[in-house]
Structure 1
Amino acid sequence: MRNIMVIDLRVLPVLFHLRHHALMCRLHLEHLDLLDAMIAKLDAQIEEMMVPFRVARDRLMSIPGLGPMAAAQALGEIGTTPQEFFATAAKLASWAGMCPGNHESAGKRRSGRRRHGNQHLQPVLVEAAWSAVRHPGYLRSLYHRHVMKNGGYRSQVAKKKAIVTVAHAIIDIIWHVLATGTPYHELGEDYFIARKDPDKEAQRLIAKLEALGHKVTVEPLVA
């Protein structure tokens, strides 16, 4: 007597549903493999095209936040000799759209939005800025300084303004690196602290404490 397998008809929709999802997963994975292959081909072509500009790209990669692709994109937009087209780093930053607007009337500033600029270069600079502020150095110190100046880390607006300031600093550095032919020189995370006048900073802190109702007596430190 043969064994007869009985299938509950209520299970069939579930089986078909699972089979459909398995097919969709295979198709998505095949699509991802295809995209990876396309990206690899494009990366190889970019590397081939960057051979004449490899020295300039390597110099740009000395700037925190700029990897091989970001450096290549920057070169593709501004070239290897930006000083021929932009007399100063400030002019390049303005062309790139990394300078804040300056709309004033009767002494009142109406808008601080960035000017429209190169729509291909702007995202690269902003992404590079976010990458740069994750590592110790001058650019992270600059970011922290401007975040605190604009409202602190709880303010999303303050962080966005600060990252634009860092992106502006990066395009400024790019101009100098390409114009001088020298790699980026790290100023250090203590740059802003080191450049302060000790006496003026002491007076500022004393005044701040006195404003809070404290009496301050300053004595020289005995070695």
Structure 2
Amino acid sequence: MDEVTLIGIDLGKHVFHVHGQDAKGHAIFRKKLSRQQLLSFFSNLRAVTVVMEACAGSHWLARKLNAMGHVTKLISPQYVRPFVKSNKNDYIDAEAICEAACRPAMRFVEPRTEAQQLLAALHRTREGLVTERTATINRIHGILLEFGVVVPMSKATLRRLPDVIAIHDLPVRLLQIIQRLHEHYKYLDAQVVETEKELVAQLHGDENAARLLSIPGIGTITASLLASEIGSIAQYAGGRNFAASIGLVPRQKSTGGRAKLCGISKRGDKHLRHLLVQGARAVIQRVHKRNDRLGEWIRSMLTRRHSNVVACALANKLARIAWAVLTKHTEYQGSLLVRTS
């Protein structure tokens, strides 16, 4: 055990497969441990480097192992896959994780703090509630349409839906069904509002959030998600690296000295990318009110490119600006970055 310098863990719900190797990459042991046995095993082991894929439960386990004195590193699963040899099983996966971690140019994922994970959980909860609320609205609309009733599904109409459909000659049982769905909609809408209040409350007193909110197109939801997903800003060498981690830079298929750029890569957090693109669209819609350099750049792009392309390009620029304001401890004010501390 004294020779072990690197341990790879293939994570599971109840069973974990562990691969240990020495400094030269020679396998020392393979173990299959339960969740309780895993923590006990590492608590009795001298400090080593532990690597695992960045997935569900990895950030929690990384914090536990770091507290024991170990050095924990997380790797994106896409970088581990090329090192899986021949047939696939859990032990080979753990060995592939060790092999990937030995590469000098390997990129690692920054483990999230508990606060960042709580913020991310709030976002996932809100996203699920919004999806359920939309599905409920569509369900009401579809059922009424089956009986020849067409009403606009605006918020004002939904608030007084029973009164709106009361003028139509509908079966009593149908009215009961609509009433039940309407109550469910009101519950989901209230839950969304409460979740958004929690997100706003968590942003108060956060200097980084205040800086992010100064950027055009970034509101409370996007700023809080950025704060939870970005982790340590020092892990990104530049704004382009951060934009690339969200999937807002072009995919490349370059060869033979000829550069060929495709559409955006769509890697990283899909929800964060969606929010940045929607924020960019909001900025584009009001670009006539902007007299700064950003407004000039958007108007110039719109004369040459489709609005969808400009939205993605602007989302890329907003991500780079977010990296800049967090790195330089500044706020965005028009064409200038004004130092605040």
Same fold, TM-score > 0.5, yes or no:
yes
Determine if the alignment matches structure 1 residue 168 to structure 2 residue 168: no
Greater share of residues in strand? 2
Superposition deviation, residue 101 in structure 1 = 1.9
CA shift in 2, pair 1:140/1:130, >3 Å: farther
CA–CA separation in structure 1 for the residues paired with 2:180 and 2:295: 43
- TM-aligned CA distance change 1:95 to 1:141, over 3 Å: same
**One of 154, 178, 203 as aligned partner of 1:25:** 178
**Residues 71-220 of structure 1 mapped to structure 2, 5 A cutoff:** 71-79=223-231, 81-82=232-233, 84-106=234-256, 110-118=260-268, 119-135=270-286, 136-137=289-290, 138-150=293-305, 158-187=306-335
Match of 1:62 among 194, 198, 214: 214
**1:27-69 deviations in whole A, cap 9, x for unaligned?**
222112101221133223323443453x211211111111111
**Bigger radius of gyration:** 1
For 1:139 and 1:123, locate their aligned partners in 2 and report how far apart those are by CA, in whole Å: 21
Task: Indicate conservation of the 8 Å contact 1:89/1:176, yes or no.
Answer: yes
Root-mean-square deviation (CA, aligned residues, Å) is 2.4
Deviation at 1:178, TM superposition (A): 0.8
State how far apart, in whole Å, the 1-side matches of 2:272 and 2:216 are.
16
Measured after TM superposition, the shift of residue 177 of structure 1 is: 0.9
8 Å contact 1:143–1:165 — kept in the other structure? no
Compared CA separation, residues 176 and 160, structure 1 to 2 (3 A): same
How many pairs were matched up? 164
Counterpart-to-counterpart distance in 2, 1:64 and 1:161: 18
**Take 1:149 and 1:107, find their aligned partners in 2: how far apart are those partners?**
27
Residue equivalent to 1:7: none
* 1:147–1:159 CA contact under 8 A, matched in 2: yes
- 2:174 is paired with a residue of what secondary structure? helix
Query: Which deviations, in whole Å up to 9, do the C-alpha atoms of 1:157-201 show, x marking residues without a partner?
Result: x2211111100110011011111111102129xxxxxxxxxxxxx
1:130, CA displacement in angstroms?
A: 0.9
Q: Distance in 2 between matches of 1:187 and 1:18?
A: 61
TM-score w.r.t. length of structure 1: 0.65
> TM-score of the superposition, structure 2-length normalised?
0.44
Distance in 2, Cα, partners of 1:108 & 1:185:
39
Q: Which has the higher contact order (CA 8 A, sep 6+)?
A: 1
Could you say which structure has the higher helix fraction? Answer: 1
2:208–2:326 contact (8 Å) kept in structure 1: yes
SS in 2 for 1:120: helix
Match of 1:212 in 2: none
Q: Which residue of 1 aligns with 2:21?
A: none
* 1:139-162 Cα shifts (integer Å, max 9, x gaps): 443333223223xxxxxxx22111
Query: 1:21 is matched by which residue type in structure 2?
Result: L
Q: Return closer, same or farther for 1:105/1:51 CA change in 2, 3 Å cut-off.
A: same
Q: Which amino acid aligns with 1:45?
A: E
Structure 2, unmatched stretches of 5+, are 1-167, 337-341
Q: 1:110 to 1:20 in 2, by over 3 A?
A: farther
In structure 2, how many angstroms separate the alpha carbons of the residues matched to 1:27 and 1:161?
A: 43
Are the structure 2 counterparts of residues 109 and 19 from structure 1 closer, same or farther at C-alpha, using a change threshold of 3 Å?
farther
Q: Which residue of 2 aligns with 1:192?
A: none
Tell me the distance in 1 between the aligned counterparts of 2:214 and 2:266. 28
Pairwise CA distance, 1:108: 5.2
Percent identity over the alignment is 21
